[in-house]
Structures are given as C-alpha cells and as structure tokens.
C-alpha cells in the first residue's frame, strides 16, 4: 500500500525536501540511562511479523503524524555478532506499531476489541506510526514515536525489521530482510501509562509480559525487553539488536 500524495507532500515539506530525503534526521534523541537490555550483546531472537506489516514506508525519524500519546524516543543499536558485536552502520531499520487504542495504520477498520474508543482519525490512516531509519556510524537508528497501546492477547509491543540493500529515498524499498523481531514493553511502564491520557480511555486491560504469546514462545525472551527511562513527557528506550 503506497502513501497518499497528501502524506508524501506533507512529509517532504516537513523535511525541507524537494526530492529524496536524508537517511537519518539530524536531531538526536535524548540519551537514555544505561540498562541491562541496552548492554546485551547476543543474537536477538526472531519474532513473528504479524498481520499488519506494510512495505514502502517513509524514511523518517518522527513517525507520530500527530497521534496522541506519551513521547517515546528510541535508540536501536544494530551490532554484528560475527564481528565481535561491532556496530553496523548504513543499515535500514523499520518499525511499526499500533496507536494508544490498539489501531494500526492500514487496518483502521479492524477493531482492537470492545470496549475501545473509535479510531481518532489523526494522521494518514495508511502511514501513521510506521517508518524507516538508517543506522549512523555508531550503528544507531533513532525514532520519535508514542508509547503504543495494547490489544487482544498481546503485551504492548513494537515490530522491527532490519534490512540490507535496497533504495533509501522518501520511502524505503527493495533490499532484503535480515531479521524480523519485536520489542516487548515491561509491565511497570504500561501500568504507569494506563492511568494517563489517552491510555486511560482504553477499555481493555493490558496483557502482562509473562502472559504474552511471543514472550512465552521465545528463547531468551528478556532480550526483547528494552531499557527504558522516564522523562517529563514520556520515555526513552534503548535496545541492542544483534544480527
């Protein structure tokens, strides 16, 4: 599914572009405090792609498109396990996740369950909360998004694909997938969030990490749980992805 012309033009204007966009935006996310998950240097387990993947997404750092929620600044470090965990520069990293109520762009007609508020119509319903960044010389891909909500029998999570090759322009296309995995959020973060807007209007109770199907079926599942630090308006998230 391709982004709409309106969304393409909006993205180009926001980036100050008239052609292809830069692989990584200049601003950097605030540094997060070091934690166990950030320091892990092991091969990151594969996890299911799920039913909501869409290709040809925008190369952009800020994927929010105005969606309400706690700000989440992400720093994902890609390392090569065959090279002593050396950072891997120039690697396209793609993420996608649901909004605060559990809706995915491209699938807004699919309800996360009852009783959940209707999808709010904010952002382009084909592209919100999806994007690609290319790792810098330090092997880090940085994103600004919102803390996702939850739905069904899944813990709060973000989907991740690591690619190689392909064309990096306004959108990322071509190339091949090196790894597909997920980021699973710790219970204490979601417990704190569910009492705050807009999450407090979510009608479903969040699923505990230990009850999540991906966590339960994954070897070394704690390597999918990131290091997180609270900020004034949300969280920072750091995670090492070993490939």
Question: Per-domain residue ranges for the chain?
Answer: 5-242
| Mean pLDDT calculated for residue range 23-44 | 49
Tell me the average pLDDT of the chain.
88
How far the first Cα of the chain sits from its last, in Å, is 28
> Greater confidence, 17 or 53?
53
Give the residue from 121, 2, 120, 119 showing the smallest Cα distance to 58.
2
The predicted pLDDT at position 41 comes to 81
Note the pLDDT of residue 40: 61
Environment class of residue 59 by beta-carbon count within 10 Å: exposed (0-12), middle (13-18) or buried (19+)?
A: buried
Res 36 pLDDT > 50: no
Share of the chain above pLDDT 90, in %: 82
Mean pLDDT value of segment 74-85: 97
141's tokens: 């891909």
- Are β-strands 71-80 and 234-242 bridged in parallel, bridged antiparallel, or unpaired? parallel
Query: Per-residue pLDDT for 71 more than 50?
Result: yes
pTM given for the model? 0.85
The angle subtended at Cα 238 by Cα 236 and Cα 242, nearest 5°, is 165
What mean pLDDT is predicted for residues 73-84?
97
- Return the percentage of the chain with pLDDT > 70, whole number: 84
Q: What is the DSSP string of 122-149?
A: -S-TTTTTEEEEE--TTSEEEEEEE---
Checking if the pLDDT of 113 tops 80, the result is: yes
Q: Which CATH architecture has domain 5-242?
A: Sandwich (2.60)
| pLDDT attached to residue 39 | 52
Task: Indicate the SS3 state at residue 6.
Answer: helix
pLDDT of residue 9: 36
Average pLDDT over residues 6-34: 37
Q: Higher-confidence residue: 129 or 6?
A: 129
Pairing of strands 227-230, 234-242: antiparallel
Poorest-pLDDT segment among 31-35, 189-193, 194-198: 31-35
What is the DSSP secondary-structure string of 211-231?
G-HHHHTSSSGGGGSPEEEE-
Low-confidence winner among 112-121, 125-134, 207-216, 225-234 (lowest mean pLDDT)? 112-121
């Amino acid at each position: 599914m391709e982004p709409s012309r309106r969304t393409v033009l909006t993205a180009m204007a926001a980036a100050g572009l008239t052609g292809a966009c830069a692989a990584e935006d200049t601003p950097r996310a605030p540094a997060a405090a070091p934690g166990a998950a950030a320091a892990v240097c092991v091969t990151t387990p594969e996890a299911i792609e799920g039913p909501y993947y869409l290709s040809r997404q925008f190369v952009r750092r800020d994927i929010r498109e105005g969606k309400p929620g706690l700000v989440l600044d992400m720093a994902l470090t890609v390392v090569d396990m065959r090279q002593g965990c050396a950072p891997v520069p120039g690697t396209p990293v793609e993420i996608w996740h649901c909004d605060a109520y559990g809706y995915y762009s491209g699938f807004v007609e699919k309800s996360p369950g009852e009783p959940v508020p209707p999808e709010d119509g904010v952002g382009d319903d084909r592209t919100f909360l999806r994007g690609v960044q290319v790792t810098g010389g330090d092997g880090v891909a940085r994103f600004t998004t919102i803390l996702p909500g939850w739905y069904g029998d899944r813990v709060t999570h973000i989907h991740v694909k690591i690619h190689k090759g392909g064309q990096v322009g306004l959108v990322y296309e071509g190339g091949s997938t090196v790894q597909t995995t997920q980021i699973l959020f710790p219970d204490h973060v979601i417990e704190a969030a569910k009492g705050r807007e807009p999450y407090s209007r979510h009608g479903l109770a969040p699923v505990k990490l230990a009850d999540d199907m991906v966590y339960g079926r994954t070897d070394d599942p704690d390597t999918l749980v990131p290091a997180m630090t609270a900020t004034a308006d949300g969280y920072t998230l750091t995670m090492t992805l070993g490939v």
